Amino acid sequence: MDDSAAGNDLLEKLRALMRGGAGGGGPERERPPTQLKSFDIEGIAEFIKSDACKEIIVMTGAGLSTAAGIPDFRSPSTGLYANLQKYNLDSPESIFSIEFFETNPKPFYALAKELYPGKFRPTLSHYFIRLLAEKGYLKRIYTQNIDTLERIAGVPGDRIIEAHGSFAAAHCIRCKEEYTQKWVKDKVFADEIPTCTICEGTVKPDIVFFGESLPSHFHDNIRPDFSACNLLIVMGTSLVVHPFASLIGRVDYGCPRLLINREPAGQAHAFNLSGFEFDSDDNHRDVFHKDDCDIGCLKLADLLGWKEELEALVSREHARIDAEDPDPAPSDKPASEKEGAKEAAKDTDKAQDAKDTDKAQDAADGGASHTETAEATKSDSATAATSPAKPDASSTEAKVAPKDVPAAKH
């Protein structure tokens, strides 16, 4: 037996033990009946249309914002990476180390100036999440991203959990005095290090750095949210950063789960029995749709009958954002407002045509938490920031002082 076969055999035995069978000390837990007519995105669409789907949780990573043109500061091919080399960092990720920031905040703010909120527009995927909210399906979105694009897209603030924080507010790392996003941004764009007016400590945006605990509202909402979830949609993440990655196992055993990603992620193994079981004989709920987030969301919207509404929403909102900021970053401004959505639609149609052709050819041939702190990550950590939407009463921005001065101390 090779290592792969041995590993699969061990995994099946562990699954049996978890179910209570194979000498596990009790009757085997009965596998709940599947709620999906098919284990593909079409099956997910049919489930959303049913009366059984009322509370959807969305989990997102850096892949959701790729189409917005947000550059990767870790890539040697970008100017951002080259600009950071003068600081002699041990690694690009060092700028998100709280220990490093406390001694030298300059590299972080050099990066922040290039990636600060205000340069990028939400993607089609962000607006799909907004539609889920407007149509009464969205229980919550849990995001690893710090770019605030969900807020800009108009997703209600009380539906957003920014697991790794965001630029929406800032605090002095010494006395905890609170500052507005605009106050900090003005300092950054004046090439100044934001310094507390009370104690002269360094002011840091409320982004979770490596070595800091995740926000309390992340932990407070997990149990009530995931216990009520009817459908889990995961997009644009490699699911390697804990405790965020472990959330996919917090839904009910019978809850359908959809991953829209370029590659499979979060799959079950000997040390993660609650992971996705796309290829397992035991699979009764998990669907993997291989695609970019935007193309996958447009495909799902089409199946739900929302495609035209989504494309119109993207066009309308991008026009509004451009009117407010007439000089957005060149990388995120398409030739026309509908061009991005049209191209995604073309890709979706081509993929479906290819799929239909393959089926026809087959027929012709005769075939038919392990930690409570932010962990270092190579693919999901600290995505670049973008400008926040107008906050609602429950958002973080609404709780800070409305003027461009420090908030009053409590």
Burial classification of residue 192, based on how many CB atoms lie within 10 Å of its CB (0-12 exposed, 13-18 middle, 19 or more buried): exposed
Distance CA 296, CA 345 (A): 10
Q: How far is the CA of 389 from the CAs of 71, 120, 154, 183, 394, in angstroms? A: 21, 12, 7, 16, 13
Residue count of the chain = 410
Residue 24: Cβ within 10 Å count: 15
- Residue of 233, 206, 62 lying closest to 145 (CA atoms): 62
Residues 6+ positions from 28 with CB-CB distance below 8 Å: 16, 19, 20, 21, 22
Q: Is the peptide bond before 243 cis (omega within 30 degrees of 0)?
A: yes
Q: Which is the catalytic residue, given 126, 164, 171, 289?
A: 164
Distance CA 236, CA 320 (A): 26
Phi/psi of residue 207, nearest 5 degrees: -100, 140
Residue 345: Cβ within 10 Å count: 19
- Residue of 394, 366, 365 lying closest to 158 (CA atoms): 394
- Residue of 191, 148, 198, 192 lying closest to 172 (CA atoms): 198
Alpha helices in 21-90 (DSSP H): 41-49, 79-84
Q: How far is the CA of 298 from the CAs of 3, 82, 86, 244, 379, in angstroms? A: 40, 36, 42, 26, 24
Burial classification of residue 379, based on how many CB atoms lie within 10 Å of its CB (0-12 exposed, 13-18 middle, 19 or more buried): middle
Q: For this structure, is 164 an active site residue?
A: yes
Q: Which residues are the active-site residues?
A: 164
